Structure 1
Amino acid sequence: MQFRTSHALAALSALGNLVIQDSYAFPSSAIVETENGAVSGFADTSAPSVTQFLGIPYGEPPVGSQRWLPAQPKKAFGSLKATARRPSCPQTDPPTLGGAWAPEFLIKPNTTSEDCLYLNVWAPSNSQQESSGLLPVVVWIHGGGFGAGSNDIAYQTPTQWVERSQRHIVVGINYRLGLFGFPNAAGLDPKEQNLGLLDQRLAVEWVRDNIARFGGDPKRVVLWGQSAGAASVSYYQYAYSEDPVAIGFIKNSGSPFIPIGTADTTHSSFSSLAAAFGCQGADELDCLRNVPFRDLQKYLDRAGNLTFNVVVDERTKFSDYAERTLDGKVAKGPAIVGSTRDEWNFNSNSPPPPSDGSDVHADNLFGCPAHYETGLRNIAGLKSYRYMYSSNFSNIMPGGQGAFHSAELPLIFGTHDIARENSTQFEYDVSHEMQDLWLAFVQDPVDGLTDSGWDATPLGGLNTTQTGIDIDKDTHPRITSQLQNQMNMNNKKIPETIPNSKDITNNTTEATQPLSPEDKARKWILFYDILVQHVPKHLHVMCCRIMLDLAPEFGMEPEVNKSESITESEMEAVEVEKPENPDD
């Protein structure tokens, strides 16, 4: 629903290459007619040019007999005052970071309910329409290891970003977590165990069917997630490759290859929980559906040793992502794939990193999977943009955690200044540049970043440099040799448990006739799979390093002009072109 206005915004100077058609505004009490009913939004003094629609239901409450079943689309509700956030989904106690997470990264206490399938919409009140008359849309999928998180997190609220840009719409979604989203129960359909992932698809379908009424373009949707949210975006690309709805994908610190999930084929966690409440046998599910969710959650918090996470169901999560990528069974949209320098510094309750250093463990969890995924995407001809976030702003998280897991989010959302000491001007500059880069991708996933000075990784083969952007506290975002910069293991001892790589290569690459480039790529993938099966999981990052070093053995040297590639000795900072008024 659109309302004419004569207002203009100074934020238009950030990216000025769009065709402006007209402007429109939501009044402070805007009412939008969705397919399910009328929702009324609001604007407040903190972001007067953003109309917020909070707590819109996209699915029927998964409660009672519907607990542990795929959610159904929301039925008609008449009218709804969408002016307050709704409950977060049930979840475990939050993790700690350096003793305690900053509260701005957490949900508010006592705000959970099984009736949690809601989404929020943040739309510009004084928007500058593009030539299509509609704005691009970002669907934000929060992280939290599939056991925590919400669309109600202070640091992950996009109001200030939308206020500044006036050129995009953001939708934040809830989805079921832990026991309620990923039960892995014997009595359930094997294809309906990852209920949280199915919730995400239902929310995306709601966006497809309703976002035009808010001024958004259903044909220009980008999915963005961090950590488990980024893994979710990756899983989604394969699960809905034929009908992705989205045309671009942003993955902060997550990929389909991160070591997350459970392989418990005996369903022991669910059965143990059921037994604790006297529920056993054939009626295990129905019996446990009668137990209040808070009682179940309290027991899980005390027990601490039961795992409820994503499982391979060959519907929403697959066992063969490498093969699927090479076979083209993945959504074809461009992707941003990134990580932070100090990923490991996010959970003091986790086991200590190996003696090689926390950066090695962080590479194992996030860096190596990101490189592996990008290499596969390059082979498959899928456009990818790589980044490393290296900044460290103490007002975001006290305690000297560095560029920890999720540290970049307050910069992108524009919430870095909501707690503790004030942000510096440089912090605002970095925030605005990151916002502009993300917005450039959202507006045009194919060419937006290239036009902003951020080149995609070269296609057609394994790109062993994976050129990307390094977002560092001491410099503006710069082009750098991303892979060599992050994965340089020269100063670390390769553990003796890794087999001699040259011997493995000799045994693996023997062939009676020349291999095609595609066959070489598949052999490289097979070699990686074999290698990681012979070493402990915490050393898989070393396998990644060996794989990259051995890429030429498989004929996978990237075909790029040597004079144009950036070598490790030439990693001089190259500033990304900045807008004329970076403070706007």
Structure 2
Amino acid sequence: MRSVSFVTAALAIPLAASHCHPPKWTVGQTVNTTSGPVDGHTASVASKVSEYLGIPYAQPPVGSLRFQPPVRYNGTQHLDGKNFGFSCIPSNLTAFDAEYPQELIEEYGITDVGLELIRSINNPGIPVSEDCLTLNIWTKPQTGENRKAVMVWLHGGTFISGSSAVPDYNGQFFADQEDIVLVTINYRVSFLGFPGNPHGPRNLGLLDQRLAVEWVRDNIAGFGGDPSRITLFGESAGGASVDHHTHAFASDPIIAAAIPMSGTVTGIRPRPAADAAHIWYNTTSALACGDALTPPAQVLTCMQSLPAQQIHATLRNVVDSPIPMPYSPTIDETLVFSSPETHPVANIPLLIGNTDNESGLFRVFVPPLFPPGNAAQEEEFWRVDSQAKFSCPAADRAARNVCEGLPTWRYRWHGVFPNTELGTRPPSGAYHYSEVATLFGTLEGGNTREQERVGRWMRGAWAAFARDPVRGLERYGKGNGTGKGKGKGWPRFEEGGETLARIGFEGREVSFVKGDFYDAGC
């Protein structure tokens, strides 16, 4: 069992060093980085927040760099920081990306809010390109700590879509309300990010994420951030990515803490290498670049020479469900492991959890699985599906961190609000992804008072963890300057103790139940 003293000692120095006094900060001032000097600007709503968009952290992965690990970007030219970079090229998430069927709208009682969410799930209107490896920063160094904790967000999208330009992920409200620097990144997705080539690197998207974290470590001090206090957080595929980092880079994580939300390496399971290779060769054959009998170098050269849109046209839909997925992390025993439960994990604190009704999102992409009159059987199927892919893996990952002697917290999201309601037959409840916009404070209207309070509480908790991953949550809400009341704090996770935080339950910010309260069947 590992001692937590290592983590405590590691955090003691940066917390003390954070009170050094940097030069006076001007909103939007130019910051020198390894990518070149970056001009900022005032965020669109939070007028005291400096926003820097579209900063390249890697060279464009095109031509001979396609299907290769990312190469660090170094530049000297001015970057204007005004616009998000291109999003990475996705593939279709479902068979209904073009138009959601009217029969399913009626079947599931899809609301106007829900239909808008479904139609936006593949990021329509966001420009895409292979030249997409950029990141964005929101910061407010003129107040609070002079060297702030940093939170780096990995978007979801089932590893086949997603973008840091999605409005839900805009970091200005997080940076404005909490004493942190917020970073979002793009990484390669779909076939270009997870190609499955048996003779080359298979997990390019994960390598992109790692290089972005390295860029943050090397440059974030210029934006008022503390490079020794980086928390990696993400949801769905982003949550699984966070968990992959704790395994893949266990001996050198760079990050000081991790928050996997609704995603783990055992719940969103990686592809076997043979399955990935099968998809690689199906694609190369369809594009007349050869098959498993063709010299691998010849296949690769051909694939690197094709227009990206020609490759995109051959990609498969995910017709049934985002899990399992045709393009996703692939077992290579270097970054992604066949037995992650026995592989070392990073010696860092963990905040982990999931929503109360994960499958409330996934089920609306398929017709009912059972004949009419079998509603109970349908409900049981989806309940078990949520438990097997999200709740139980989160429980196992939390329990492992506790066994390693590492500070661990666990939550369950229960927030159900009018402007996040997906469907009514049956009620969608707290479905997969339903917490994200509330966490970021980016919903565009119609928030209830309860929803505003829950969002504020959740942002404050995530930021408290980032500022001090060892003690921050235990102190959160105890009247120690957080401004969140006189609560008892959030105790570390124990299966038998009242330590599992129910966020948004019955409209309240938080309540606690036993750690294994939702683990029946695990």
Q: Find 2:198's aligned residue among 165, 180, 186.
A: 186
Match of 1:79, SS state, is coil
Decide whether aligned partners of structure 1 residues 468 and 187 sit closer, same or farther in structure 2, where only a CA change above 3 A counts: same
In 2, Cα distance between equivalents of 1:215 and 1:105: 33
Deviation at 1:199, TM superposition (A): 0.6
Task: Say whether the 8 Å CA contact 2:40–2:51 is kept in structure 1.
Answer: yes
SS of 2:264 mapped into structure 1: coil
Deviations 1:392-424 (A, max 9, x none): 1121344342101011111110112x1xx5211
Whether 1:405 aligns to 2:432 is yes
Query: Are 1:195 and 2:208 counterparts?
Result: no
Which is worse superposed, 119-128 or 407-416? 119-128
Cα distance change on mapping 1:273 and 1:466 into 2, 3 Å: farther
Q: For residue 465 of structure 1, report the CA deviation from its aligned partner.
A: 5.7
Contact 1:24 1:127 in 2 (8 A): no
1:314-359 CA distance string (max 9 Å, x none): 11111222222xxxx2211111110101100113225767742422
Query: 1:487: which partner in 2?
Result: 519
Going from structure 1 to structure 2, the CA distance change for 1:20 and 1:62 (only over 3 Å counts) comes to closer
The answer to whether 1:312 aligns with 2:334 is no
Work out which of the residue numbers 141, 149, 152 in structure 2 matches 1:139: 152
Q: Give 2:173's aligned residue.
A: 160
Measured after TM superposition, the shift of residue 240 of structure 1 is: 1.1
Partner of 2:315, secondary structure, is helix
Residue 274 of structure 2 aligns to a residue in which SS? Answer: coil
Q: Deviations over 1:152-182 (max 9, x none)?
A: 11112121121222x1101101111110011
Q: Match of 1:561?
A: none
Shift of 1:106: 4.9
Distance 1:101 1:25, change over 3 A: farther
Separation in structure 1 between the aligned mates of residue 93 and residue 54 of structure 2, nearest angstrom: 22
Cα distance in 2 for residues equivalent to 1:303 and 1:214: 40
1:237 aligns with 2:246: yes
Residue identity in the other structure for 1:150: S
Higher-RCO chain (CA-CA 8 Å, sequence separation at least 6): 2
Pairwise mapping of residues 170-569 of structure 1 onto structure 2 (< 5 A)? Answer: 170-188=182-200, 192-265=201-274, 267-280=277-290, 281-282=294-295, 283-300=298-315, 307-324=326-343, 329-347=344-362, 348-350=364-366, 355=378, 356-400=380-424, 401-416=428-443, 418=444, 421-452=445-476, 453-458=489-494, 463=495, 467-471=499-503, 472-484=505-517, 486-488=518-520, 542=521, 544=522
Query: Distance between the aligned counterparts of 1:262 and 1:241, measured in 2?
Result: 21
Distance 1:100 1:24, change over 3 A: farther
Q: Distance in 1 between matches of 2:138 and 2:28?
A: 14
Q: Report if aligned partners of 1:135, 1:168 keep a CA contact under 8 Å in 2.
A: yes
**CA distance in 2 between partners of 1:69 and 1:26 (Å):** 39
Task: Give 1:277's aligned amino acid.
Answer: L
1:195 Cα deviation after fit: 0.6
The alignment partner of 1:265 has SS state of helix
Task: Give the superposed CA RMSD.
Answer: 2.5
Give the CA deviation at 1:100: 4.0
8 A contact 1:39–1:81 mirrored in 2: yes
- Corresponding residue of 2:37: 38
Contact 1:23 1:128 in 2 (8 A): no
Cα separation, 2, equivalents of 1:303 and 1:23: 50
Deviations along 1:167-206, one digit per CA (max 9) or x if unpaired, are: 1101101111110011011332xxx210110111100000
Question: CA 1:24/1:128 → structure 2, altered by over 3 Å: closer, same or farther?
Answer: farther
Distance 2:132 2:339 in 1: 32
Closer, same or farther: CA 110–171 of 1 in aligned 2, 3 Å: closer
Select the structure of larger CA radius of gyration: 1
Deviations 1:469-522, CA, capped at 9 Å, x for gaps: 0011433311112422x234xxxxxxxxxxxxxxxxxxxxxxxxxxxxxxxxxx
Flag the 1:289–1:159 CA change in 2: closer, same or farther, 3 A: same
Which ranges in structure 2 are unaligned for 5 or more consecutive residues?
A: 1-16, 101-109, 370-376, 477-488
Cα pair distance change 1:77/1:101, threshold 3 Å: farther
Q: Residue 92 of structure 2 contacts residue 317 of structure 2 at CA under 8 Å; is this kept in 1?
A: no
1:60 aligns with 2:92: no
* CA shift for structure 1 position 438: 0.8
Q: TM-score, normalised by structure 2?
A: 0.82
Counterpart contact for 2:139–2:180, Cα < 8 Å: yes
1:270 deviates by: 1.3
- Quote the offset at 1:287 in angstroms: 1.1
Instruction: Flag the 1:198–1:483 CA change in 2: closer, same or farther, 3 A.
Output: same
SS in 2 for 1:366: helix
